[in-house]
Amino acid sequence: MTILVLCREDNLCNTLACYARALRRRGVRLVCMETGFPFNGALQDCLSLCPEHPSLILHPEADVPYLPWGLAKVDIPTACFQVDTYAYTQRRIAWSMLFDQAIVFHPGYDALFQKAGHPGACFFAHAVEAELFGGAELERIFDVGWVGQVNGPMYGMRGPVLSALAQAFRMNELARRYTLQEMARVYRQSKIVVNIGRDDYPQDANLRTFEAMAAGALLITALPSELTQIGFEDGVHFLGYRDTGEITFLVRKYLDDEPARKRIAEAGREKVLREHTYDVRVEKWLERAAQDAGKLQAPARHWPEGRVRRIYLDYFAANGALAQAAAELPKIARHNLKDALIGAALLGRAGSKRLAAKLRPRSQPA
Q: Please give the class, per CATH, of domain 2-127+281-302.
A: alpha beta
pLDDT for residue 353: 59
pLDDT for residue 241: 96
Strand partners, 2: 29
Contact criterion met (CB below 8 Å) for 230 and 236: no
The alpha carbon dihedral of 59, 62, 66, 67 has a sign of positive
pLDDT for residue 182: 96
- Alpha-carbon distance 141 to 185, whole Å? 11
Count of beta carbons in the 10 Å neighbourhood of residue 217: 26
Rg (CA), the chain: 22
> Mean pLDDT score of the chain, rounded to an integer?
90
Q: Which of 51, 98, 104, 49 is nearest to 74 (CA)?
A: 98
- Alpha-carbon distance 265 to 238, whole Å? 7
Q: Residues with Cβ < 8 Å from 270, sequence gap 6 or more? A: none
Backbone torsions φ then ψ of 144, nearest 5 degrees: -135, 135
Residues in the chain: 366
Angle, helix 258-275 to helix 207-214, in steps of 10 degrees: 110
Run of H or E including 122: strand 121-123
Full-model pTM: 0.89
Q: Which CATH architecture has domain 130-276?
A: 3-Layer(aba) Sandwich (3.40)
Contact criterion met (CB below 8 Å) for 99 and 79: yes
pLDDT for residue 290: 80
Residues of the chain with pLDDT below 70 are 336-338, 340-343, 348-366
Within 13 Å and on the Cβ side, how many CA atoms surround 145? 27
pLDDT for residue 365: 26
pLDDT for residue 354: 54
Cα separations in angstroms, 102 against 105, 121, 125, 145, 359: 10, 5, 13, 34, 36
pLDDT for residue 362: 36
Q: What is the pLDDT of residues 252-298, one digit of tens each?
A: 999 999 999 999 999 999 999 999 999 999 999 988 888 877 789 99
Domain with CATH 3.40.50.2000 in the chain: 130-276
- Alpha-carbon distance 285 to 281, whole Å? 6
Q: Residues with Cβ < 8 Å from 349, sequence gap 6 or more? A: 317
pLDDT for residue 344: 73
Cα separations in angstroms, 199 against 70, 155, 202, 225, 329: 39, 6, 6, 13, 37
Taking each continuous run of H as one helix and of E as one strand, the counts in the chain are: 14, 10
- Alpha-carbon distance 36 to 16, whole Å? 21
According to DSSP, residue 171 is labeled: B
pLDDT for residue 364: 29
Count of beta carbons in the 10 Å neighbourhood of residue 359: 7
Q: What is the pLDDT of residues 26-50, one digit of tens each?
A: 999 999 999 889 999 999 999 988 8
Sheet bearing 142-145, strands edge to edge: 142-145, 190-194, 218-222, 239-241
- Alpha-carbon distance 250 to 58, whole Å? 43
